C-alpha cells in the first residue's frame, strides 16, 4: 500500500483562519472554520496518514535564538483568546481523526522537516500544508508543499519565479538577503537581485566566498560579513535530524475518532 502523509503546519493555518474571524474571542467559530478547512484538505489530498504539528506555546524561540539573539525578537504574541483556545482546537481536530504533535525544544518547522524528509526519503508521498516558503528547501519528487489559502503549489517553478534560485539554494539565499520578518539580517547591502546574481554563478555562499571570480562589489561585503551570512544561513536551514519518538503507524488516518 502506498503512503501519502499530510502534515499540517497547525499554527500557520489556525492564525490565518483566526485573523479573519469577525469576533476574535469566539474560538468556537475558529474551531468550526478550521474544521471545514481540514475536511476540504482531507477530501482533496486523500491522505493515508495525517498529523498537525504545533509549536509548544510555552517554548522560547529555540536554538536559533541561541546563535542569533535577535531572531524573532519582535514577533507578535499570539492573541490571548487563541492561546487559551489551543487545547480545544487540538481536541476538535483529534475528534476529526487528526492527532497533534507538539514540538519540544525545537521549532515546529524542524519537526515538520524531519518527519517529511524521513518519509519522503523512502519514496513515499508527503504533502506539507503551509504558506511558509521556508519549507520549499525540502522539495523533492515525493515531497510537495501546498499553500491552501492561495490554492497553489509552492514548487520549484514557483521558487524560480519568486526568488530566482533553486529550492536547494534557499537557505543560502536567505543567508545573503536575510529575512526581515524574523529579524535575520543577512549581508548588509545584498538584496534579492544581488543574491540571485551570486547564486546563479555559484551554488552556495561558501563557493562564492572562496572563488576568485566573485566580483569586486561583493567581495568587500563578503569579507566583512561572511560570519553573519553563515549564521543566517544556519538559521534559515531546517533541521531534519530530530529524534521523533513515534512510528508512522501512529499517524494513520482512519476517519473521525468516535471515542
- 212-251 pLDDT, tens digit per residue, is 999 999 999 999 999 999 999 999 999 999 988 888 999 9
Tell me, what CATH number does 73's domain have?
A: 3.40.50.1010
Q: Are strands 125-129 and 4-9 parallel, antiparallel or unpaired?
A: parallel
14 is in an annotated binding site: no
Nearest Cα to Cα of residue 198 among 226, 234, 179, 156? 226
190 is in an annotated binding site: yes
Same domain, yes or no: 168 and 210: yes
Cβ-based neighbours of 156, under 8 Å, separated by 6 or more:
139, 166, 167
Residue 259, pLDDT above cutoff 60: no
Determine if residue 144 is left, alpha or beta; phi over 0 gives left, psi from -120 to 50 gives alpha, anything else beta. Answer: beta
Residue 146 inside a domain? The answer is yes
- Half-sphere exposure of residue 237: CA atoms within 13 angstroms, side-chain side: 17
Q: pLDDT, tens digit, for every residue of 37-62?
A: 999 999 999 999 999 999 866 556 68
- Per the structure block, which three cell numbers stand in for 239? 533541521
Q: How many domains does the chain have?
A: 2
Q: Return the percentage of the chain with pLDDT > 90, whole number.
A: 86
Average per-residue pLDDT for the chain: 94
Q: Return the percentage of the chain with pLDDT > 70, whole number.
A: 96
Same domain, yes or no: 87 and 148: yes
Residue 104, pLDDT above cutoff 80: no
42 is in an annotated binding site: no
The per-residue pLDDT for 57 is: 60
Residue 242 inside a domain? The answer is no
Backbone φ and ψ of 244, nearest 5°: -85, -45
Same domain, yes or no: 127 and 190: no
Domain ranges, residue 170: 161-236
- C-alpha distances (whole Å) from 105 to each of 13, 75, 108, 161, 238 are 21, 18, 9, 34, 14
58 is in an annotated binding site: no
187 is in an annotated binding site: yes
Amino acid at each position: 500500500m502506498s503512503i501519502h502523509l499530510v502534515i499540517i503546519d497547525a499554527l500557520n493555518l489556525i492564525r490565518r483562519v483566526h485573523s479573519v474571524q469577525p469576533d476574535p474571542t469566539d474560538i468556537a467559530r475558529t474551531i468550526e472554520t478550521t474544521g471545514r478547512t481540514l475536511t476540504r484538505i482531507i477530501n482533496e489530498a486523500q491522505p493515508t496518514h495525517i498529523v498537525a504539528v504545533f509549536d509548544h506555546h510555552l517554548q522560547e524561540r529555540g536554538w536559533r535564538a541561541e546563535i542569533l539573539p535577535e531572531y524573532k525578537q519582535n514577533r507578535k504574541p499570539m492573541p490571548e483568546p487563541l492561546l487559551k483556545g489551543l487545547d480545544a482546537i487540538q481536541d476538535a481536530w483529534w475528534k476529526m481523526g487528526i492527532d497533534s504533535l507538539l514540538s519540544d525544544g525545537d521549532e515546529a518547522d524542524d519537526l515538520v522537516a524531519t518527519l517529511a524528509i524521513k518519509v519522503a526519503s523512502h519514496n513515499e508521498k508527503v504533502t506539507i500544508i503551509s504558506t511558509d516558503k521556508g519549507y520549499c528547501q525540502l522539495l523533492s519528487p515525493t515531497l510537495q508543499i501546498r499553500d491552501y489559502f492561495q490554492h497553489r503549489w509552492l514548487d520549484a517553478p514557483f521558487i524560480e519565479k519568486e526568488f530566482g534560485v533553486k529550492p536547494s539554494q534557499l537557505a543560502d539565499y536567505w543567508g545573503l538577503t536575510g529575512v526581515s520578518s524574523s529579524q535575520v539580517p543577512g549581508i548588509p547591502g545584498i538584496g534579492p537581485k544581488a543574491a540571485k546574481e551570486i547564486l546563479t554563478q555559484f551554488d552556495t555562499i561558501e563557493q562564492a566566498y572562496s572563488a576568485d571570480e566573485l566580483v569586486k562589489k561583493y567581495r568587500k561585503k563578503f569579507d566583512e560579513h561572511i560570519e553573519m551570512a553563515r549564521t543566517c544561513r544556519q538559521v534559515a536551514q531546517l533541521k531534519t535530524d530530530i529524534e521523533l519518538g513515534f512510528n508512522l503507524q501512529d499517524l494513520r488516518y482512519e476517519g473521525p475518532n468516535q471515542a
